[in-house]
Amino acid sequence: MIIKRAYHHGDLRRALVLAAREVLVERGPEGVSLRGTVAKVGASTAAPYRHFRDKDALLVAVALEGHAELQGCLRGCGAGTVTALGHSYLGFALENPALYRLMMGAGIGDRAGYPELAEAHRATRGVLAERVGECADPGGFASTLWCLLHGLATLVIDGHVEPGSAVTEVDRSLAFLADAKAG
């Protein structure tokens, strides 16, 4: 009599997300594949389909993790100033450029098929607005701040602004916004 043992990896979903994140950093979203991530964790080729229907679903899981981390950075940045928020946001983006790009749209085919990703964007903006509300009138300021920070992060990641001058650019831009708001 042959006894078939059940396959058990432990937390395969988590292992696949971590492996995909490593590949994302090394090769970008184009380099991530279900086959490659499953090989990296040493599971069977059919195993990832228990957790992810396709590559995009795996990338969405990585992006959701990134949003949670960014939200944690914004909540934990300490001082309740717009400048502290700006530094925290930009620091996260520059420390995790491949992840940040993925979170903001690069590499996932049909984003409309993943409403949880749109909700993660809203939640990240919500945390930013909540923290801005602690130190300024949250109105449209949170959206303006997010646009500014996202634009600057993208410019640095793409090599249009030197990383060393990014903090200076954030400070200068935020001072400009504060002056414009006061005037």
Contact criterion met (CB below 8 Å) for 65 and 22: no
Structure tokens at 78: 């300490």
Q: Percent of the chain beyond pLDDT 90?
A: 38
Q: Alpha helix locations (H) across the chain?
A: 12-27, 34-41, 55-75, 82-95, 97-103, 115-133, 141-157, 163-182
Q: What's this model's pTM, rounded to 2 decimal places?
A: 0.84
pLDDT (tens, 9 = 90+) of the chain, 183 residues, equals 444 334 455 788 999 999 999 999 999 899 999 889 988 988 888 888 889 999 999 999 999 999 999 999 999 987 667 888 888 999 999 999 999 999 998 888 888 889 999 999 999 988 988 888 766 666 677 788 888 899 989 999 988 988 888 888 888 888 887 666 555
Give the chain's largest Cα–Cα span: 84
Residues with Cβ within 8 Å of 120's Cβ and at least 6 positions away in sequence, in order, are: 63, 64, 67, 68, 103
In tens, the pLDDT along 40-63 reads 988 888 888 889 999 999 999 999
Say how many residues make up the chain: 183
**What are the domain boundaries of the chain?**
77-182
